[in-house]
């Protein structure tokens, strides 16, 4: 399952101190113990698991992958585990009264088809010296017999399972708790046994499952495992998650450069510090210096740094310029959609067909509020809003964020 070659492990104290000084919420049994192991020169086997519940990964996942990459660069064996089997059980979620939807094998495969490409900007999956290992837990979990499952379950009590906050909450609120949901921590826990890992990285929402793996590894292999819990991207004022794969919210790794840049700019000011620390490669002293600037400049720098990681510096700079043109200077992006129309064509029909308005009623409301702007290429305003598409090349702005360029032939 694993390559035999083992690169030299770095014990660079500064790099290890830097790694453990950012994006770390908790280490079990202790951060000091993990630091000692990292300084020992022993090559550790470290993994992060992600369930394939959606086609897109977000910046919250990227936090973990960036730490994993730092550990890979130190010479440790790192594993990117795709939970293609556990996705089909469905991890219980405290955001829903019911069990999470169980996915089919085909749905899981479709969800993961683009994942590797999404994480390549932050994990060197093509490294020859120390490649990231990409594994799927269907390989071992699908082969477990019923006897195996009973044996795994024998290491836990019902009381232990019910200690999970979301299980206890459901029972207290007299909401259904399905039997198959109790198997999820067992199966995720068994991943640690199957891979014989030294460290598992996860967010705080996966702490219970990671500790289940620590229990199984100790009882089935007499081996201790560190649980490295990373910080969740949460708004410091409201406590709400900035990113959620299951809810489809946040800044996603497969977003276009403009959408990624704009998504960062749309974040509340109070989120800037954590996003800098958890989602960029910048050193902490430089981040502290940047944060002393004007909030708008700080946010633009953050949006640039993150977009540059996933799209490159040149494209990130273009996204920055387009954002400035669109939102700061009243202009528009150079990359807006362009269409051609022929003959006398109703403006409202064009906007309806292109999805810039949802109905004639919305068009009328926006027009009345002055939110539909028709601008010549030389940016000279043309008012009032005509019924038909203008006879020359025109950019239409609907509200603040919707643009289209129309060529009339």
DSSP secondary structure string for all residues of 64-88: HHHHHHHHHHTT-EEEEEEETTGGG
DSSP state of 325: I
* Look-up of token digits 């990459």: 69
Domain borders along the chain are 13-230, 257-328, 338-408
Q: Kindly report each contact of residues 370-373 with a partner whose C-beta sits within 8 Å and lies 24 or more positions away, as own/partner.
A: 371/398, 371/399, 372/396, 372/397, 372/398, 373/397
Task: With CA atoms as reference, report the closest residue to 209 among 229, 225, 189, 193.
Answer: 189
Four-residue CA torsion sign, 93, 95, 98, 103: negative
Q: Which residues contact 31 (CB under 8 A, 6 or more apart)?
A: 20, 24
Task: With CA atoms as reference, report the closest residue to 200 among 224, 221, 226.
Answer: 226
What is each CA distance from 181 to 62, 86, 165, 216, 305, in whole angstroms? 27, 11, 13, 18, 40
Q: Which residues pair with 394 in a beta bridge?
A: 376, 406
Instruction: Give the H/E segment covering residue 220.
Output: helix 207-221
List the pLDDT tens digit at each of the 409 positions of the chain: 444 457 899 999 999 999 999 999 999 999 999 999 999 999 999 999 988 777 788 898 899 999 999 999 999 999 999 988 888 776 665 444 444 566 777 777 777 778 888 989 999 888 888 989 999 999 999 999 999 999 999 999 988 888 877 787 888 888 888 888 888 899 999 999 999 999 999 988 889 999 999 999 999 999 999 999 999 888 888 888 887 655 555 788 988 898 899 889 878 889 999 999 999 999 999 999 999 999 989 999 999 999 999 999 999 999 998 888 766 555 555 556 777 777 677 788 878 887 777 778 778 877 777 777 776 433 344 445 666 666 565 677 776 567 777 776 6
CATH label, 257-328, candidates 3.30.450.20, 1.10.240.10, 3.40.50.1000, 1.10.287.1080: 1.10.240.10
Helices (H), 268-332: 272-279, 284-290, 295-311, 313-323
CB count, 10 Å around CB of 36? Answer: 10
Instruction: Give the H/E segment covering residue 378.
Output: none
CA-based radius of gyration for the chain: 25
* Look-up of token digits 């919305």: 362
Q: Within a 13 Å sphere around the CA of 94, how many CA atoms are in the beta-carbon half?
A: 11
Q: Matching CATH topology for 257-328 and 338-408?
A: no
Q: What is the pTM of this model?
A: 0.74
What is each CA distance from 304 to 234, 264, 287, 313, 389, in whole angstroms? 21, 9, 14, 8, 36
Q: What is the rounded CA–CA span in Å between residue 330 and residue 240?
A: 32
Q: What is the rounded CA–CA span in Å between residue 195 and residue 213?
A: 11
CATH topology of domain 338-408: 3.10.290
Task: With CA atoms as reference, report the closest residue to 16 among 75, 86, 65, 60.
Answer: 75
Instruction: Classify residue 48 by burial, with Cβ atoms within 10 Å: 0-12, 13-18, 19+.
Output: buried
Q: What is the rounded CA–CA span in Å between residue 59 and residue 52?
A: 16
CATH label, 13-230, candidates 3.10.105.10, 2.60.40.10, 3.40.50.620, 2.170.120.12: 3.40.50.620
The answer to whether 38 and 14 have CB atoms below 8 angstroms apart is no
């Amino acid at each position: 399952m694993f390559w035999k070659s083992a690169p030299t492990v770095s014990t660079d104290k500064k790099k290890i101190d830097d790694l453990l000084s950012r994006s770390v919420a908790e280490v079990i049994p202790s951060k000091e113990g993990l630091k000692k192991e990292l300084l020992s020169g022993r090559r550790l086997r470290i993994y992060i698991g992600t369930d394939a519940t959606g086609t897109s990964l977000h910046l919250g996942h990227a936090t973990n992958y960036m730490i994993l990459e730092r550990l890979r660069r130190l010479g440790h064996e790192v594993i990117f585990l795709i939970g293609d089997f556990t996705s089909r059980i469905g991890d219980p979620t405290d955001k829903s009264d019911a069990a999470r939807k169980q996915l089919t094998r085909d749905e899981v495969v479709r969800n993961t088809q683009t994942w590797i490409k999404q994480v390549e900007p932050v994990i060197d999956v093509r490294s020859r010296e120390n490649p990231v290992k990409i594994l799927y837990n269907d390989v071992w979990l699908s082969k477990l017999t019923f006897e195996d499952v009973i044996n795994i379950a024998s290491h836990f009590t019902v009381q232990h399972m019910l200690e999970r906050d979301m299980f206890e909450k459901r029972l207290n609120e007299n909401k259904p708790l399905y039997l198959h949901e109790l198997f999820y921590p067992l199966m995720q826990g068994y991943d640690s046994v199957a891979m014989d890992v030294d460290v598992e990285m996860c967010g705080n929402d996966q702490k219970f499952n990671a500790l289940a793996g620590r229990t199984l590894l100790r009882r089935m292999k007499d081996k201790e495992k560190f649980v490295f819990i990373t910080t969740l991207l949460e708004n410091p004022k409201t406590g709400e998650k900035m990113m959620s794969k299951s809810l489809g919210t946040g800044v996603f790794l497969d977003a276009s450069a403009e959408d990624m840049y704009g998504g960062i700019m749309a974040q509340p000011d109070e989120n800037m510090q954590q996003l800098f620390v958890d989602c960029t490669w910048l050193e902490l002293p430089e981040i502290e210096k940047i944060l002393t600037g004007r909030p708008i400049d700080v946010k633009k720098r953050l949006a640039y740094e993150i977009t540059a990681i996933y799209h490159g510096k040149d494209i990130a700079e273009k996204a920055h310029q387009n954002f400035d043109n669109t939102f700061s200077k009243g202009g528009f992006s150079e990359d807006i959609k362009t269409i051609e129309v022929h003959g006398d064509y109703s403006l409202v029909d064009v906007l309806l067909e292109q999805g810039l308005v949802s109905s004639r009623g919305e068009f009328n409301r926006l027009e009345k509020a002055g939110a539909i702007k028709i601008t010549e290429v030389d940016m000279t305003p043309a008012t009032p809003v005509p019924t038909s598409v203008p006879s020359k090349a025109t950019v239409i702005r609907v509200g603040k964020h919707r643009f289209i360029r129309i060529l009339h032939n």
